[in-house]
């Protein structure tokens, strides 16, 4: 089904889990593939984006077994990849293309990376520039540094790179290339972006050094094969968190979710907006895993800007929906990166919110939303962007009348089971669910 029909939903009183973290699933496959033996990856996200990374690694001669839907056994090749026999299709996944470019920059062979129509419009100069400085030869076949990319790698020099963008993808591409350079490669970012690559390198016993906003790595190290557990994706949880936060009598528990503090900005924003939230880290491993307990409220507007932006970069569409449901004004600024995601997310959010009756002004690098105007159902486009589809499905749960979201197949890039959970929340909570939730301590 590619169109979703959404209607106003009852109060949420339930607990749920979300599928594995997308960023972490990509990195787990890549680091395991570089390691010196078999690695079992549990909780892997079997979405289209992460399967693009699996396909890319298989094309480089890595054996990857699918033990069950969320468990992979990746047979590490000790960084000795073989030349691909065909081009590598990254699908819709920017993380696959940019991080694989880092790895391929270190390989003594030629490879060609392609992507779908959306990925083919995304900027790649941000990784071409540092990887070229390290010695790789990269040609962007698209206009203005856009994909496809042809990479002839090998013989890399280490680099001290000061990145102009706070991008975990740029940082990771340079660090992964640095694994194949002789000597110390460093990346300094303008503000902290998600730090999964650094944490996971550490976990796989390749020691990165961190000082302030600079991460360094010594090349020629092989990750040690180990089992790894991927936590639930807080960016997927964010849709349900907002659905609960914006309804005064709602209560939601999200279990087994990643609580890495470079990703939990969405919780801080929702607390500022008035929700009551408790987070408990249960497994403080490489990637902390725990529970989020949220109680809804009459939300109020807030400001989202500056160093907080990279932490909530993927949550801005759903936070904009929260802002439309809140009383007062919300100002989001410093978020121009949203214009070069799977679609121009600032334009898409503004257009869809307006179609539902909200008051929104689009600025060059953000949005100004005057919340509290009742939303009405509308026929909305996903713009081929999974996070736009899901954010507006949640908006539909609060709207008068029916909301239709078109072009929802893109949701399979990050959250294949989203609609099944949405349907379950459109039904009133069962007695058993209510009993579990009302037995929890209130705050």
Task: Give the active site residues.
Answer: 314
Q: Which of 378, 330, 374, 368 is nearest to 346 (CA)?
A: 368
Q: CA-to-CA distance for 75 and 29, rounded, in angstroms?
A: 10
Cβ distance to ligand S3P smaller for residue 95 or 247: 95
Q: Residue 136 is encoded by which pair of tokens?
A: 């790789």
Q: Which of residues 372-431 bind ligand S3P (CB under 6 A)?
A: none
CB of 94 to ligand S3P, least distance (A): 6
Q: How far, in Å, are 33, 62, 154, 378, 414 from residue 76 at the CA level?
A: 4, 7, 20, 49, 25
Cβ distance to ligand S3P smaller for residue 134 or 168: 168
Cβ distance to ligand S3P smaller for residue 194 or 226: 194
Binding mask 176-195 for ligand S3P (x = CB under 6 A): -----------------xx-
Residue 23 binds to ligand S3P (criterion: CB under 6 A)? yes
Residue 314 binds to ligand S3P (criterion: CB under 6 A)? yes
Do 258 and 228 meet the contact criterion of CB atoms below 8 Å apart? no
Q: What residue number has its CB nearest to ligand S3P?
A: 23
Residue 53 binds to ligand S3P (criterion: CB under 6 A)? no
CB of 237 to ligand S3P, least distance (A): 15
Q: CA-to-CA distance for 210 and 218, rounded, in angstroms?
A: 12
Q: Residue 417 is encoded by which pair of tokens?
A: 């089971």
CB of 91 to ligand S3P, least distance (A): 14
Q: Which of residues 87-146 bind ligand S3P (CB under 6 A)?
A: 95
Q: Of the ranges 102-110, 161-169, 323-331, 404-412, which one interacts with ligand S3P (CB under 6 A)?
A: 161-169
What are 371's strand-pairing partners? Answer: 328
Residue 169 binds to ligand S3P (criterion: CB under 6 A)? yes
Cβ distance to ligand S3P smaller for residue 251 or 387: 387
Residue 202 binds to ligand S3P (criterion: CB under 6 A)? no
Binding mask 77-96 for ligand S3P (x = CB under 6 A): ------------------x-
Q: Residue 10 is encoded by which pair of tokens?
A: 């009852």
Q: Which of 47, 161, 27, 123 is nearest to 411 (CA)?
A: 47
Quick one: which of 241, 313, 316, 346 contacts ligand S3P (CB under 6 A)?
313
Quick one: which of 129, 337, 362, 365 contacts ligand S3P (CB under 6 A)?
337
Residue 320 binds to ligand S3P (criterion: CB under 6 A)? no
Helix, strand, coil % over all residues of the chain, rounded to 5: 35, 25, 40
Residue 47 binds to ligand S3P (criterion: CB under 6 A)? no
What count of Cα atoms within 13 Å lies in the side-chain half-sphere of residue 343? 18
306: left (phi over 0), alpha (psi -120 to 50) or beta: left
- H/E segment holding residue 14: strand 13-17
Residue 13 binds to ligand S3P (criterion: CB under 6 A)? no
Q: Which of 388, 389, 443 is nearest to 253 (CA)?
A: 443
CB of 400 to ligand S3P, least distance (A): 32
Q: Residue 148 is encoded by which pair of tokens?
A: 């496809």
By CB under 6 A, name the binding residues for ligand S3P.
23, 95, 167-169, 172, 193-194, 313-314, 337
């Amino acid at each position: 089904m590619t169109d979703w029909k959404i209607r106003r939903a009852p109060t949420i009183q339930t607990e749920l889990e979300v599928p594995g973290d997308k960023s972490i699933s990509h990195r787990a496959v890549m680091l395991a593939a570089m390691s010196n033996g078999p690695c079992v990856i549990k909780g892997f996200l079997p979405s289209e984006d992460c399967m693009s990374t699996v396909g890319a690694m298989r094309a480089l001669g890595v054996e990857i077994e699918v033990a069950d839907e969320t468990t992979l056994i990746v047979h590490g090749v000790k960084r000795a990849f073989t030349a691909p026999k065909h081009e590598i299709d990254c699908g819709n996944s920017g993380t696959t293309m940019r991080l694989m470019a880092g790895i391929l920059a270190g390989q003594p062979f030629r490879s060609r990376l392609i992507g779908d129509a959306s990925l083919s419009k995304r900027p790649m100069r941000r990784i071409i520039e540092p990887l070229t400085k390290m010695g790789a030869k990269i040609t962007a076949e698209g206009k203005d540094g856009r994909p496809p990319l042809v990479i002839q790698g090998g013989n890399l020099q280490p680099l001290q790179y000061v990145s102009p963008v706070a991008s975990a993808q740029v940082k990771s591409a340079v660090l992964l290339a640095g694994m194949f350079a002789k000597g110390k490669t460093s990346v300094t970012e303008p503000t902290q972006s998600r730090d999964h690559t650094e944490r996971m390198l550490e976990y796989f016993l390749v020691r990165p050094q961190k000082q302030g906003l600079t991460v360094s790595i010594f090349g020629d190290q092989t990750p040690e094969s180990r089992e790894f557990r991927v936590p639930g994706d807080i960016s997927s949880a964010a849709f349900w968190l907002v659905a609960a936060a914006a309804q005064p009598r709602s209560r939601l528990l999200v279990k087994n979710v990643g609580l890495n503090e470079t990703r939990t900005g969405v919780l801080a924003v929702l607390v500022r907006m008035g929700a009551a939230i408790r987070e408990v880290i249960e497994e403080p491993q490489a990637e902390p895993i725990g529970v989020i307990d949220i109680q809804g409220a009459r939300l109020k507007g807030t400001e989202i800007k500056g160093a907080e932006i990279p932490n909530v970069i993927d949550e801005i569409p759903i936070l904009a929906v929260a802002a439309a449901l809140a009383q007062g004004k919300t100002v989001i600024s410093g978020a121009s990166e949203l214009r070069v995601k799977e679609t121009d997310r600032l334009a898409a959010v503004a257009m869809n919110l307006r179609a539902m009756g909200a008051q929104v002004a689009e600025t060059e690098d953000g949005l100004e939303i005057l919340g509290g105007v009742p939303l009405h159902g509308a026929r909305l486009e996903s713009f081929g962007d999974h996070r736009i589809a899901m954010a507006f499905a949640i908006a539909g749960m609060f709207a008068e009348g029916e909301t239709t979201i078109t072009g929802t197949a893109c949701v399979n890039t990050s959250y294949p089971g989203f609609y099944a959970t949405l349907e379950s929340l459109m039904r009133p909570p069962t007695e058993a669910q209510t009993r579990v939730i009302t037995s929890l301590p209130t705050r």
